[in-house]
């Protein structure tokens, strides 16, 4: 026997060749990451915290899997963080104004 070949009765038998390397199909478009889409839509609708959470998960999944949608996830993050900041600013202004007007109004005893 020489280097994986066996000769029997004049017939050369070789080892079974390894299957060819898998080549990704180029005619099928890459899949879209669902959480990236959810992040973008919820951030636009006004559910900012959901958009931020789904955006972080979507970015991680698109990096790991190679799916499309990283841009949507990042847009969801940006819009979500802007929404969270605006809500925070709204509540700070509301509480400060309530305290200011409560202190400035005359009390009746």
pLDDT tens for each residue of 14-53 = 656 666 676 666 677 779 999 999 999 999 999 999 999 9
Question: How would residue 102 be classed by pLDDT, with cut points 50, 70 and 90?
Answer: confident
- Say how far apart CA 59 and CA 73 lie, in whole Å: 6
At residue 89, the 3 state secondary structure works out as helix
Q: So what's the pLDDT on residue 59?
A: 97
Q: Which helix (H) or strand (E) holds 92?
A: helix 70-104
Can you give the residue ranges of every domain in the chain? 31-103
- Say how far apart CA 64 and CA 72 lie, in whole Å: 16
- Say how far apart CA 5 and CA 13 lie, in whole Å: 6
pTM: 0.67
Q: So what's the pLDDT on residue 89?
A: 97
Residues facing residue 13 across a β-bridge: 6
**Torsion (CA) 52, 57, 63, 66 in degrees, nearest 10:** -110
């Amino acid at each position: 026997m020489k280097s994986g070949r066996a000769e029997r009765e004049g017939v050369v038998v070789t080892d079974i060749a390894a299957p060819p390397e898998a080549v990704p199909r180029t005619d099928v478009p890459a899949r879209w990451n669902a959480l990236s889409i959810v992040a973008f839509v919820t951030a636009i609708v006004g559910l900012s915290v959901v958009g931020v959470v789904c955006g972080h998960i979507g970015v991680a999944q698109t990096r790991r899997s190679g799916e499309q949608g990283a841009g949507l996830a990042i847009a969801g993050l940006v819009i979500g963080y802007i929404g969270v900041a605006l809500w925070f600013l709204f509540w700070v202004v509301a509480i400060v104004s309530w305290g200011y007007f409560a202190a400035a109004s005359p009390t009746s005893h």
